[in-house]
Amino acid sequence: MLNHDTMPLSNQQIKTLQAYRQKKFRREDDVFVAETPKVVEMLLDAPLSLHALYALPGYAETAARRFPACVPQLQVITEKELSRISGLTTPQQVFGVWAQPHRRLTPKEAFHGLSLVLDGLQDPGNLGTIIRIADWFGIDRLICSEDTADAFQPKCVQASMGAVARLPVYYTDLPPAAAEAPDGFPFYGTFLEGENLFTQPLATTDAWYCIGNESHGIRPATAALINRKIHIPTFAPVSEPNRPHAAESLNAAVAAGILCAQIRAHIGA
């Protein structure tokens, strides 16, 4: 049985855990945080370094039973303490702190397998959803411009449902990284003037597939290196009185889902 006779969280501990909602403080301590049993369990299953796990009594017993290695870092807390450290509107049983993994993208890895490339994506919720989608469809990695949202921002970690622990995410200066590609390496990008995604042959082994910023798309410096422009066309009727115009564009995560599904369709089951 887990020992429930633990000291309450100090005010300093609470302030520190609250501060991890901000990138500055996560970077200072080189950590990230996650909440909810489903996300936490995905992370506990991954080869990540756990710093601390704070849980309500009922879930603490479950965590200790399912993940005995976490017991030395596990502290039982009260609902009031959880509500103070949680970033969620409705806290859910557990709050964890992990060491943030650091990955360096090498040319050997960058151009081996399928990479989803994000150029300037700003919304952490969109990024988290894209990470979850890419993991689901078996994409090998995510390559992000340096100004793309932080993959270990709490909202992103939650939106990824823990997939950020499974899918390697790299940050790099995209144009110089892309310039290192072998001759003829397929670099796809989504553009309004691109070819119809559903009628184009797609590379299914080694390739980059790029999605741009939610508002401005792919930047010129990155676009200059893209050699295969594709587009997700609309099929919305435009002649009906109540539907005079099709939607102007797709949400970045939705576009990523369609793109990944189409790549997987070309690969086959």
Whether 29 contacts 21, CB under 8 Å: no
The pLDDT > 70 percentage for the chain reads 93
Q: By mean pLDDT, which of 127-136, 221-230, 242-251 is the weakest?
A: 242-251
Between CA 33 and CA 118, with CA 173 as vertex, the angle to 5 degrees is 60
pLDDT, tens digit, for every residue of 159-191?
A: 999 999 999 999 999 999 999 999 999 999 999
Q: Whose CA is closest to 167, among 262, 260, 265, 69?
A: 260
User: Per-residue pLDDT averaged across 218-236, rounded?
Assistant: 94
Between CA 231 and CA 242, with CA 236 as vertex, the angle to 5 degrees is 145
Q: What is the pLDDT of residue 2?
A: 60
Beta strands in 93-240 (DSSP E): 94-99, 114-119, 141-145, 169-172, 187-196, 207-212, 228-231
The letter for the amino acid at 64 is: A
Q: By mean pLDDT, which of 91-100, 148-157, 220-229, 235-244 is the weakest?
A: 235-244
Instruction: Please say if the pLDDT value at position 208 is more than 90.
Output: yes
User: Per-residue pLDDT averaged across 16-42, rounded?
Assistant: 96
Q: What is the pLDDT of residue 239?
A: 59
143, burial (CB in 10 Å: exposed 0-12, middle 13-18, buried 19+): buried
Instruction: Please say if the pLDDT value at position 215 is more than 70.
Output: yes
Q: What is the pLDDT of residue 237?
A: 74
Q: Whose CA is closest to 218, among 200, 257, 198, 192?
A: 192
pLDDT, tens digit, for every residue of 241-258?
A: 666 555 667 899 999 999
Quickly tell me which residue has 């553009």 as its tokens: 191
**Other Cβ atoms closer than 10 A to 159:** 22
Q: By mean pLDDT, which of 41-55, 106-120, 234-248 is the weakest?
A: 234-248
Whether 56 contacts 79, CB under 8 Å: yes
pLDDT, tens digit, for every residue of 70-110?
A: 999 999 999 999 999 999 999 999 999 999 998 899 988 99
- Containing 66, the helix (H) or strand (E) segment is helix 57-66
Q: What is the four-CA torsion angle of 139, 136, 46, 76, rounded to 10 degrees?
A: 150
Threshold 0.85, pTM exceeds: yes
Q: Whose CA is closest to 150, among 177, 175, 169, 166?
A: 169
The pLDDT > 90 percentage for the chain reads 86
Q: Whose CA is closest to 225, among 154, 177, 265, 164?
A: 177
Q: What is the pLDDT of residue 246?
A: 58
Sign for the pseudo-dihedral over CA of 167, 168, 171, 177: negative
Instruction: Please say if the pLDDT value at position 5 is more than 70.
Output: no
State the Cα–Cα distance between residues 260 and 21, nearest whole angstrom: 30
Instruction: Please say if the pLDDT value at position 240 is more than 80.
Output: no
Grade residue 238 by pLDDT with cuts at 50, 70 and 90: low
Q: What is the DSSP string of 181-224?
A: SPTT--EEEEEEEEEEGGGS----SSEEEEEEBTTTBS-HHHHT
